[in-house]
């Protein structure tokens, strides 16, 4: 009888430990599933941001050196959607917000240079200035894609300040020798 009581005590302790271990395993599995869903949402947001940015870049590069008033207004809904994505990125992934903001800003500068009525009395944009802005946009899209990839892979995201100088509140690429 004493042996049965001792066996029952050991069995109940074993079952209690197993229940605690099962509960911990289920909690960890649920946490992992939640993180995966959250990561999936962030990945979808990043993909959508990059798709809009790249399509704007491609379309504006295709237009040549000048954009008409109608073409300018046709870009506005996509620019607004890009702004909304930047705001959403700021809420859920602040580590890559600055990259997204500069990408949006460079796309805006590219549009400004290509739109004669926004050039504030300047003559039409030169081919060199248009190409320079296009190169900016291309580089920033690539850097933002890299930053988002690092973020998704849980690697540190670093803003490339060393490649840029600050001039009148804007980031401009340094002249390379």
* pLDDT in the model for residue 84: 95
Q: Residue 1 pLDDT more than 90?
A: no
- pLDDT on residue 119: 54
In whole angstroms, what is the distance from residue 141 CA to residue 106 CA?
Answer: 9
Question: pLDDT (tens digit, 9 = 90+) per residue, 121-164?
Answer: 454 556 667 777 788 788 888 889 999 998 888 888 877 765 55
What lies within 8 Å, CB to CB, of 67 at 6+ separation is 60, 75, 111, 114, 115
Residue 168 in tokens: 């009148």
pLDDT digits (tens, 9 = 90+) for 80-103: 999 999 999 999 888 899 899 989
Structure tokens, 113: 């240079």
pLDDT, residue 125, reads: 54
CB neighbour list of residue 78: distance below 8 Å, 6 or more residues apart: 52, 55, 56
**pLDDT greater than 70 at residue 24:** yes
Domain residue limits, the chain: 44-173
Could you tell me which residue, 115 or 102, shows the higher pLDDT?
102
Please give the model's pTM, rounded to 2 decimal places.
0.68
User: Is 168 a residue whose pLDDT tops 50?
Assistant: no
Q: CA–CA separation, 87 vs 58, rounded Å?
A: 23
Higher-confidence position of 99 and 118: 99
Using one digit for the tens of pLDDT, what is the confidence trace for 34-69? 776 788 889 999 999 999 999 988 888 877 667 778
DSSP letter for each residue of 60-123? HHHT-S---HHHHHHHHHHHHHHHHHHHHHHHH-GGGHHHHHHHHHHHHHHHHHH-GGGSTTPP
Q: 84 or 28, which is more confident? A: 84
| pLDDT at residue 49, as a whole number | 94
Return d(Cα 110, Cα 153) in angstroms, integer. Answer: 31
């Amino acid at each position: 009888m004493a042996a049965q009581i001792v066996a029952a005590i050991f069995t109940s302790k074993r079952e209690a430990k197993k229940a605690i271990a099962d509960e911990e395993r289920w909690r960890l599995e649920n946490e992992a599933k939640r993180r995966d869903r959250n990561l999936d949402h962030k990945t979808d947001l990043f993909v959508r941001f990059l798709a809009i940015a790249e399509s704007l870049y491609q379309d504006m590069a295709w237009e040549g050196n000048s954009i008409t008033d109608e073409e300018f207004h046709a870009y506005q809904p996509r620019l607004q959607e890009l702004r909304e994505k930047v705001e959403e990125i700021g809420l859920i992934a602040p580590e890559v917000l600055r990259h997204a903001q500069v990408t949006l800003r460079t796309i805006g500068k590219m549009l400004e240079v290509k739109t004669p009525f926004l050039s504030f009395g300047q003559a039409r944009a030169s081919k060199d200035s248009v190409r320079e802005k296009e190169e900016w946009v291309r580089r920033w899209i690539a850097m933002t894609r890299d930053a988002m990839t690092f973020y998704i892979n849980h690697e540190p995201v670093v803003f490339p300040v060393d490649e840029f100088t600050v001039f009148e509140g804007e980031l401009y690429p340094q002249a390379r020798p």
